[in-house]
Every structure is written in structure tokens, then in C-alpha cells.
Amino acid sequence: MNTDKMNGKKIYAVWWPDTESEKGVNLKSGKNIQLEMSATYHGDHEEFWIVHKNADGKEISRHNPRYVETIIWDRNEP
């Protein structure tokens, strides 16, 4: 993956499968939630995270995309 193109890319929605139920977990960007990809290269490896921010842009949490089932990119992203 190209970390330059992926870093900061806006995400509309993320789906994590829930191994304990059939419903899974869904998180969508909206008025109070911002989601974006963090993609960095550290010389010998790349790191990818889904960053969850509040309406003020403050980071609330990071999620390992390894366990993600589906990412829907923001429709306004190139």
C-alpha cells in the first residue's frame, strides 16, 4: 500500500465483524465523528490505523484495520 496516498484519507464508515454476535460493529463519520486512515512508514515496516476523532478534531481512539471487514471511503475523497 502507498502510505503517502493513504495517510489522512477520510473514511465514511467502517465495519468490524463481531465474533460474539451476528450484528458486528459499525462506525460512521458524521457531525460529531471524524474517521481517517493513518498510514506511516517506519523504515522497515508500515503502520496503518483507523483514527476516530471528535467534532473538534481531537483523537478519541485508534483501531487496528487488520480486523476490519469493510471500509467505505468518504465520497468526497479523490
**Tens digits of per-residue pLDDT, 18-61?**
756 666 668 889 989 999 999 999 889 899 999 999 999 999 99
In the prediction, which pLDDT does 67 show? 85
Within a domain: 33: yes
What is the number of domains present in the chain? Answer: 1
The DSSP bridge partners found for residue 16 are 25
Helices then strands, each counted (H, E), the chain: 1, 6
pTM: 0.82
In the prediction, which pLDDT does 73 show? 93
Closest by CA position to 29, among listed 54, 61, 62, 5: 54
| 72 pLDDT higher than 80 | yes
Within a domain: 78: no
What amino acid occupies position 13? A
Stated as kind and residue range, the H or E segment containing 19 is none
Residue 62: domain span? 3-73
